[in-house]
A and B are shown apart, each in its own frame.
Chain A
Amino acid sequence: MLGKLFSYELRALWKPALIMLAVMVVAGLAGTACLGGALAASDAAGYGSGYVTHAALSANATVVLFMGALFCGFLVWAAVAALYVFVAMRFYRTMFTDEGYLTLTLPVRTGTLVLAKFWAAYLLLAVFALGATMLYALMVATISGGDADAVSGVLSITGGWFAFVADGDVASVALGVVNTLVTCAYALGLAFGSLTLGAWWARRHKVAAAVGIYLGVGWLLSLVFSIAGVLAMTGDVASWDFALAAVSVAQLLLNAAVAAGALALSALLVRTKVDLN
């Protein structure tokens, strides 16, 4: 039954997701082209072919192309954010509004329902997040003239605190990818859990309540790990690298735990507490 539900979810999501993916890819490629153009304009103005320097920005064409690249870079992440909001709101709509009458009367366990929605949304979000990272890497490769260290450096940034000790090697890039995948799960789990809590607690303005819960919990967790990271860097530790890596791994594990816990809570509340209006 999980496979059948998963298949229905993907069928419902793929069309809008494809449009957003197209926007993301086109924006990423356009951004890359803009950066390439900016470099060419920079070369033509005689500023050299290295990184776009402050001086190069004085050339109008370079400025326009560089701003265009920034806008395209924004669009890439906007597409990821749009997909995230879309899948979260679909979860809410199909579970807690009138469409919930269709979903919650199916002869399946609520845990199976929640998991099917999670895995379908997660698959798409992971593809989008990794795709966006690759597009950024492409932009950096363009602007750095194909510098492999710069590209792997960008990829390792996604590794959270570990990026501060990463030197762009394969391990740090792999950790960045793993961290991205876990962060996607965390973000989706937190969204599903918050929406379920909002649907249960709030008598009115349930989505607003869910957003409040989401921001509150998300902020609190981020604050804890920000403090932990700063303490690791400034504290009296034998090895900063080790301390930051430890904080990074701890955050990774906690994010995974939050995702699993939020999904379990969501399934439990739907099964025992949440009433449809």
Chain B
Amino acid sequence: MDQFSPMPFASQSPQPAPQPVASQSATAPALQPVPAPAPVPQPAAAPAPQPAPALWCQNLTKAYGPNLALDRFNISVPAGRIVGLLGPNGSGKTTLLKMIAGVAHPSEGVIRVCGRPVGPESKALVSYLPERPYFPRSMRVREMIAYFADFYADFDVAMAHDMLAHLGVDPAAVCSALSKGTVEKVQLVLVMARHAALYLLDEPIGGVDPAARDYILSTIIRGYRPGATIVLSTHLVRDVETVLDDFILLRYGTMLLHAPVAYVAQEKGTTLDAYFREEFRC
């Protein structure tokens, strides 16, 4: 938490104190803008080889016709951070995750996952949880596990069964017989049972009960994956702020702020949830 580096993470050098990074956007009057765009990381030019950031985006833009879902988004996430993607509806959170996962395509800009462009190689490194159920309803849970084990070399079958047992999900159950919340649990388990370099979780706890939320956040995300790099989007800020290292505030496709969670407490004297509510008050 105290190792926050301002965006972009062109180097891994620790910062003396948490520093927020704001975008050039005029929509964040309370924040200090940063005029310089994110430089492209050049591992080969560095005196000592630096590990590529787990996620790096430059000038990432997505337009749907005349509407900009994401506007010149820059970010660098070093390995091992848990980053919360926060913002009101329509702020571009899901679009961003989709583009990183490779199921949507940028209008402009560059994405690198551990230094690799989006493609088969990056997909082998990314474990993505979409915001919606995406399994065929006729599949059984154990068939889903077999499917993941077949296609992802980093999938841990024993860990998946262990997580399912803790969540009380029967591996023999057919997907169509499961409740919406249980399907979400199963999907999260499958995604988190991979030893991926980057986890993208879109609303991972939106449809599950509060008790399961605690288990998911404390055990699955923190417990099973202590050193994982996770980018998760959610509206349940209060629930997730205890597990986050950093957060990104998005509004209308523009990044307002990228800062460590500690920044809010130190500079604003409040919680992330309260800060979010204040920033996006209707």
Contact with A along B106-137 (1 / 0, CB 8 A): 00000000000001110110101010111110
Chain A interface residue bracket vs B: 10 to 19
Tell me the interface secondary structure of chain A in the complex: loop
Q: Tell me the nearest residue of chain A to B133, going by C-beta.
A: A98
Chain B hits for A272, CB < 8 A? 105
Chain B hits for A274, CB < 8 A? 105
**Complex contact A276–B103 (CB within 8 A):** yes
Q: Tell me the nearest residue of chain A to B126, going by C-beta.
A: A105
Chain A hits for B130, CB < 8 A? 98, 101
Q: Known contacts A4-B151, A107-B152, A109-B120: does B101 contact A102 (CB below 8 Å)?
A: no
CA A99 – CA B130 in complex, angstroms? 11
The smallest beta-carbon distance between A19 and chain B, in angstroms, is 15
**Complex contact B123–A107 (CB within 8 A):** yes
**Complex contact B123–A276 (CB within 8 A):** no
Chain B hits for A242, CB < 8 A? none
Q: Tell me the nearest residue of chain A to B65, going by C-beta.
A: A203
Chain B hits for A100, CB < 8 A? 103, 134
Q: Which residues between 76 and 111 of chain B lie within 8 Å of chain A, taking CB atoms? A: 98, 101-105
Q: Which single member of A106, A109, A275 contacts B151 (CB below 8 Å)?
A: A106
Q: Known contacts A8-B147, A98-B134, A276-B98: does B123 contact A105 (CB below 8 Å)?
A: yes
CA A106 – CA B134 in complex, angstroms? 13
Q: Which single member of B98, B105, B119, B134 contacts A102 (CB below 8 Å)?
A: B134
Q: Tell me the nearest residue of chain B to A107, going by C-beta.
A: B124
CA A109 – CA B151 in complex, angstroms? 13
Chain A hits for B104, CB < 8 A? 275-276
Chain B hits for A108, CB < 8 A? 120, 123, 151
Chain A hits for B209, CB < 8 A? none
Chain A hits for B267, CB < 8 A? none
CA A8 – CA B148 in complex, angstroms? 12
Chain B hits for A8, CB < 8 A? 147, 150
Chain A hits for B121, CB < 8 A? 107
Give me the interface of B with A, judged by CB distance under 8 Å.
98, 101-105, 119-121, 123-124, 126, 128, 130, 132-136, 147, 150-152
Q: Shortest 9 CB-CB distances between A and B: which pairs?
A: A107-B124, A101-B134, A275-B104, A107-B123, A276-B103, A101-B130, A98-B134, A107-B120, A104-B103
Q: Can you sample 27 A-B contacts with CB below 8 Å?
A: A8-B147, A12-B136, A98-B130, A98-B133, A99-B135, A100-B103, A100-B134, A101-B103, A101-B132, A102-B134, A102-B136, A104-B102, A105-B101, A105-B102, A105-B103, A105-B126, A106-B123, A106-B151, A107-B120, A107-B121, A108-B123, A108-B151, A109-B119, A273-B105, A274-B105, A275-B104, A276-B98
